[in-house]
Every structure is written in C-alpha cells, then in structure tokens.
Structure 1
Amino acid sequence: MPELPEVEALAVDLRRRLVGRAITAVHVTAFNALKTFDPPVSALRGTVVDGVGRHGKFLDIDASGVHIVLHLARAGWIRWREEVPALPPKPSTKSPLAVRIVVEDPETGATHAIDITEAGTKKSLAMHVVRDPLEVERVASLGPDPLTSDFTRDVLAGILSSEGRKQLKGVLRHQGTIAGIGNAYSDEILHAARMSPFKPANSLTDDELDALYTAIRETLGAAVERSSGLAASELKGEKKSNLAVHAQTGKPCPVCGDIVREVSFADSSLQYCATCQTGGKPLADRRMSKLLK
C-alpha cells in the first residue's frame, strides 16, 4: 500500500506532468471506485490542473477548483501514458484499470493520460470528485501530518497520552491519530526506535519518547528524500529495497543480524527484530499458535 513517502513522491511527479494541462476526458471503468456524484465527473472536462497535493495517504488533484481526491488503497497505483489509445477503455472485471484521465498540453496540443489501476480481486480504491477535499470524510478526520513543522515532540506526547494502553503499532497506523503512516512504515519506525509494536502508548519514558519522535521524522523524511525525483514506475522498487524489517521475514536484521520475525493477523502481519525491539523475546503469533495445536 502506498504510504506517505510514496504518495508525496506521486504528488510531486504528477505536479510536474499535469499542472497547466487541460483535462479533456475522464473514463471511469470501475464504477465502484467512484464514491461521489456531485459534482459529476463530466464537470472535470475543460478544467485546467492548477496543482497536485497530498493529505496523508490521499492524493489531491486540483482542477480549476474541482478536486479529484484519490486513495490508492492496498493495490492501487498510477501510471503515466505518453500516448492515449484511440478508443476509450471499456468496463471490464478482468482489467486492473479503474480510471483514465486524459489531459492536453495547451502549447503543443499533445494528449497524454494517467491510468489509475488496482490489482487483485479486493477492490478498495476510492476516487472522490468534490469542491473541497474536506468534503471527503476520511480526509476531514485525518490526524496531524508527521512531517510538518507543527508536528512536534509535545504533539506526539499528547497523542500517546490520550491513546492510553493502546499498542504503539496500532496508534501509529491509525489515520485519525497520525496521518500517512501505514503497515510498512510503522514497522520501520518501531524498529528504528527499538520498541516493541505491542508497547502501550502511554508507557514511554522521556528518552523513549525522544527516540520514537526521532524515528518518525527521520524514517519518513529519509524515505521522502530517496523518492524525490523518481517517476511513479520507480517508486515501488525504491520502497522495497530500503525496508529493514517490513516484509523481510526470515532475513537477517541489518542492525544486529538476528532473523526478522513475523506476527500474523487475519488480514495483515507485522515484522520486527526480537533482539533490537523486544529484549530478545519473540512475540506470540496467535494465528500460528492455533495452527500448531
């Protein structure tokens, strides 16, 4: 799933490609992806892209005051097309294409497109066409962005205190608490901070709070910096090649050499290093324990 660093890089890449270009057509081929009806998709035709931004893990394309707000979910992505097929795409359950947005360069008249795709059978990609991004409930309810200047150590301390005994992993991932961190970067942040994913949020000492705040800022900041200037086609590979523990089960921890372990849940999993994060004690994997019985 694209998280804050990848969505930020996508916004930068799309800004370079789209700003100043007119939208000439929007083809929705996966109707379940479109979550709004007013204004209609047809209102986008003839608009000019003024900017591309980000709200947490949501992309925001501003076209003459009409906003296309996208959440790419677990398997969504954006692909740039230098050439637009002659025929418009048709709805198909076999195609990963959900939406195609065609744009025209006002200087050359050349047309290009972005394809918004979603792999797999579980379709969660969401596209909202709104006049204000805050009309999207999940955008309006987002917590603070962890890379802005107003996300201070004191802000983090307040969040952790208010979350009580909730586990750090869940607190970091909850978009209404902190925006933009998902499953992958919460694993990476906790590994960098040398903390158990199950540690209660309100149990941190001052030194641990310092370590967690630094890990959030540095882990996300470094990922954004690495992604800067990359095209959308290169972002997935960049992310995977720089993960220390997430999706690295069974591989050696790059810090201590211990094996990376996993805890599985119904629809997700987390990865961690016992030596670095839990004092050498493996965490109970309840799903595996049940299978072994």
Structure 2
Amino acid sequence: MPELPEVHALVTDLGARLGGRTVDRLEVVSFAALKTFDPPVSALAGRVIATVTRHGKFLDIPVGEVHLIIHLARAGWIRWREGAPVRTGRPGKGPLAARLVLDDGSGLDITEAGTKKSLAIYVVRRPADVPGIARLGPDPLDEAFTEQVFADILVTAGRSQIKGVLRNQSIIAGIGNAYSDEILHAARMSPFKPASMPPDDSSRLYGAMQATLRGAIARADGLAASELKREKKSGLQVHGRAGEACPVCGDTVRQVIFADSSLQYCPTCQTGGKPLADRLLSRLLK
C-alpha cells in the first residue's frame, strides 16, 4: 500500500509531468472505482492542471476549478504513459481502473491489482468534499506537527495500542502498516505498548517517526513512479521481512497475523527478547 513517503514522491514526479498540461478526458474503466457523480468526469475536459499535491495518502490533481482525487488503497498504482493508449482486451477485465488522457495522448494509467477492489477516484469541487480527507488528522511532516502536539495526541489516545494509533488516519495522516512497523522498530518499542507513555518514550517515538518518514522521502527523491515500489521494499528494516535477520541486532524478525493484515517486529529490539503471541489479544510490552 502506498503510504506518505511514496505518495509524496508521486506528487513530485507527477507534478513535473502534469503541471500546466491540458486534460483531454478521464476514461473510467472500473465504474466501481468512481465514487462521485457531481461534478461529472466530463468537467475535467479542456481544463489545465495547476499542480499535484496530497492530503495524507490521497493524491490531489487540481484541474481548472475541480479536483481529481485518487486514493490508491492497498493495491492501486499510477503509471505514466508517453503515448496514446492502446486498446487491448475487454474493458474492466484487467487491472486498469481509469485513464487520464492529456491533449497530446500521453497521460496516466490508474491500475489496481488483485480481486479486492478498494481504489477510489473522486471528482470534487473541494478536497474536503471527500469524506476520507475531511476526517484526516494532522500531517506528521507539517511544521505545526511538533513534539508537543504528538505528545498530546498520545495522551488523548490513552490505553490504545500505539501501532493502531500510528495507523489511524483520523489521528495522524499518511502512516500505514509498513511505516508504523518501521517507526516502532526505530524507536525500539513494542507495537502493543499503550499510546499514553512517559515523556522520554514519547520523545523517542517522535524522533523515530520524523527520521523514518523523512529518510524514506529522501531515498525516493527524484525517482520516477515506476521505481518507487522497489525503493520502498529495499529500505524496510522489519516490515515484510518475517523470518529474516534484523539488520540492527541479528535476531529473527517475527510477525503477528490478524484477519486482514499483519505486523512485523524484532523481539530483541522491541519486546525485551520476548516473542509476541500471534493473536489479537497479545499484550507483551517492553
């Protein structure tokens, strides 16, 4: 799933490609992906793209007076296409969900792999018209997101597990399953630790968050969209690496599997050497 660092890099890459360009049309192939009907997709035609920005994990492409908002969800991605689209196969039978076609035929292919379709496309007058954006918490890379703001968030979250707090988009925008694992590993903290924690722990976690996210952004800086997935995977220390050696201490990275997701962690670095039971109610703390 693309998270804040990848979406940030997509903004940079797509902004350089799309800024000042004129839209010919938006072709919606998977109608389930389109979540709005007013304004219609035809409102994009003939309008100029101002820039590209983001709100948490949401991509925002302002086109004239409307916004094309894309949430890539778990398996969505965007591919730049230099030339006019080639028609192949039956519409709706492949990974292609939509195409943004520019006036010279180039543009974006918006795709989604797998059978569970969660990718979402919106055409709106204001970004806040998208419910997911309206509910977003503060951006952890914003200058206003200080260590004190973060500490206050943790106090409010109380006994909630810190892993879930970091992933909750209405609390902090942009961090998902992968980078919450990475942040907690960098902070040497159990994913099941309560969010309300001593000031020294809160400070350490804030520093780990900033270093992890900004480091990932720096590694992705200047990369094309086609290179971002590979870069993300290569930079991860524990997420997706169950059974491998922790690059910090050499212990075996372990995982906890839930109904629809999993987390990875290092017992030596994060839980005092104690493996977490692979069940939802595990409560081993550092």
TM-score range, shorter chain: over 0.9
1:206 equivalent among 190, 199, 206: 199
Who is 1:225 aligned against? Answer: 218
Distance across 1 between alignment mates of 2:166 and 2:256: 17
Shift of 1:91: 2.5
Question: Within the alignment, does 1:53 sit opposite 2:91 as a pair?
Answer: no
Who is 2:153 aligned against? Answer: 159
Shift of 1:25: 1.4
Q: Which contiguous aligned blocks of 4+ residues in structure 1 show a shift greater than 4 angstroms?
A: 86-90
Classify the secondary structure of the residue corresponding to 1:69: strand
Shift of 1:205: 1.5
Matched AA of 1:164: G
Shift of 1:286: 2.0
Who is 1:277 aligned against? Answer: 270
Question: Within the alignment, does 1:247 sit opposite 2:240 as a pair?
Answer: yes
Mapping 1:143-182, distance limit 5 Å? 143-182=137-176
Does the CA-based 8 Å contact 1:29-1:89 persist in structure 2?
A: no
Matched AA of 1:260: V
Who is 2:178 aligned against? Answer: 184
Who is 1:107 aligned against? Answer: none
Shift of 1:26: 1.0
Does the CA-based 8 Å contact 1:29-1:90 persist in structure 2?
A: no
Who is 1:123 aligned against? Answer: 117
Q: Alpha carbon RMSD of aligned pairs, Å?
A: 1.4
Mapping 1:60-139, distance limit 5 Å? 60-85=60-85, 87=87, 91-92=91-92, 94-104=93-103, 110-139=104-133
Matched AA of 1:99: A
Distance across 2 between alignment mates of 1:233 and 1:86: 19
Shift of 1:193: 0.3
Distance across 2 between alignment mates of 1:25 and 1:37: 15
Distance across 1 between alignment mates of 2:153 and 2:125: 31
Question: Within the alignment, does 1:193 sit opposite 2:182 as a pair?
Answer: no
Does the CA-based 8 Å contact 1:50-1:64 persist in structure 2?
A: yes
Does the CA-based 8 Å contact 2:85-2:105 persist in structure 1?
A: no
Distance across 1 between alignment mates of 2:96 and 2:247: 38
Classify the secondary structure of the residue corresponding to 1:101: strand
Shift of 1:37: 0.4
Shift of 1:86: 5.4
Shift of 1:90: 5.5
Decide whether aligned partners of structure 1 residues 153 and 23 sit closer, same or farther in structure 2, where only a CA change above 3 A counts: same
Classify the secondary structure of the residue corresponding to 1:49: coil
Question: Within the alignment, does 1:264 sit opposite 2:257 as a pair?
Answer: yes
User: Alpha-carbon deviations, 1:129-159, whole Å to 9, x = none?
Assistant: 0010000111011000001110001111111
Distance across 2 between alignment mates of 1:280 and 1:113: 50
User: Alpha-carbon deviations, 1:66-106, whole Å to 9, x = none?
Assistant: 100110000000000011135598522x21000000013xx
Matched AA of 1:100: R
Decide whether aligned partners of structure 1 residues 147 and 228 sit closer, same or farther in structure 2, where only a CA change above 3 A counts: same
Does the CA-based 8 Å contact 1:27-1:89 persist in structure 2?
A: no
Q: Give the TM-score normalised by the residue count of structure 1.
A: 0.94
Question: Within the alignment, does 1:142 sit opposite 2:136 as a pair?
Answer: yes
Distance across 2 between alignment mates of 1:102 and 1:36: 19
Distance across 1 between alignment mates of 2:236 and 2:267: 16
Shift of 1:207: 1.3
Number of residue pairs matched by the alignment: 281
Distance across 1 between alignment mates of 2:101 and 2:89: 12
User: Alpha-carbon deviations, 1:204-232, whole Å to 9, x = none?
Assistant: 22211111000010100000111111000
1:238 equivalent among 231, 237, 254: 231
Who is 2:14 aligned against? Answer: 14
Shift of 1:163: 0.6
Classify the secondary structure of the residue corresponding to 1:68: strand
Distance across 1 between alignment mates of 2:114 and 2:50: 32
Does the CA-based 8 Å contact 1:248-1:260 persist in structure 2?
A: yes
